[in-house]
Amino acid sequence: MPRKRKGIPIDGWLAVDKPVGIGSTTVVSILRRLTNAAKIGHGGTLDPLASGILPIALGEATKTVSYVMDGAKTYRVVVAWGEARSTEDREGEVIATSPVRPDRDAISAALPAFTGDILQVPPAFSAIKVAGERAYDLARAGAAVELAPRLVRIDRIALLAMPDADHAEFEVECGKGTYIRSLARDLAVALGTVGHVAALRRTACGPFDESSAISLDKLQELGQGPALRTHLLPIETALDDIPALALTEAEARRLMSGQALPLAGLAGREAPTPPPGTNVRAMQGARLVALARIDGGTLRPVRVILQPSSSGEDDVDYARA
């Protein structure tokens, strides 16, 4: 008999506005104690230096974390010119200086080279593993860390402000795996100087943005109970860009038991069936029952979502796909 998980079954997402000074895992630890949730995780790491949107998954929402981590992100970043730092942000030691300060025209001319699919070398102080060890552990120990360039996608960079000659503020929209510290470093080099991240804020992470966010301080004020749960977002919030497929109650039960459904039997739905290979949200009314994939002539469950049904029944006895 499987061991019963400790904690309260809470399902959904919290869009936490993380403050500067603590890391993502610390936020998860705080919310684990605060909510006593049986399962909890985050949908995208934020360094202690950075503030902003940190999606927190609770319960069955943890099954959709990968969709958030793979999604687009938006940052506001202040780059400080003239100093390169060991960590490529303001917390590191100064390792090089330059008297060059780029003007607005030079910055604007350089930005197109950093949009689209580009190769980027991650920072030495990063969580990437090198021979089984984290790069930041090796860097802190004084070892030379050489990381291979990676292909990342930057959809947009906009110069927002230049408060003084030493700083410039940008908005960056990018894909998974992009390091803003590396972007600041490489942009400075392209402009004939050196630089580092002086301030960083994530304003959107996948479908989560500042409009739905709540500060960590406010969550701690609310404590456990109904007040906190009013800020809980549905599991399917993480799946906004995935097509939905409506099922009857009987079809939902079959899918949740691990059975594939013939698409021919679903042809009577109002919406057209997505093409083969498509991931879909399998919905029974307003309730997400599974993440599924169109496979040939069938609909196959990928991850079953165990939530109470609208009739109040508990689905915990259904098999997981």
Which residues are identified as catalytic?
Answer: 47
Cα separation, 259 vs 318, in Å, equals 11
- Distance of alpha carbon 128 from alpha carbon 122, whole angstroms: 8
Secondary structure of 142-169 in HEC code, one letter for each residue: CCCCCCCCEEEEEEEEEEEEEEECCEEE
CA R_g for the chain? 23
Instruction: Please spell the DSSP secondary structure of 242-265, one letter per residue.
Output: S-EEE--HHHHHHHHTT--EEGGG
- Cα distance between residue 50 and residue 200, in whole Å: 5
E strands of the chain, at which residues? 12-18, 40-42, 51-58, 73-81, 83-85, 94-97, 116-120, 129-130, 133-134, 150-164, 167-174, 195-205, 208-209, 214-215, 244-246, 261-262, 279-284, 287-295, 298-304
Task: Count helices and strands (H / E) in the chain.
Answer: 8, 19
The answer to whether 122 and 179 are in contact (CB under 8 A) is: yes
- Please identify which residue in the block is written with the tokens 């002539």: 297
Q: Which two tokens stand for residue 215?
A: 């500060």
Q: Which three-class secondary structure state does DSSP give residue 102?
A: coil
The DSSP element (H or E) to which 31 belongs, if any, is helix 24-35
Among 212, 242, 176, smallest CA distance to 43 is for 176
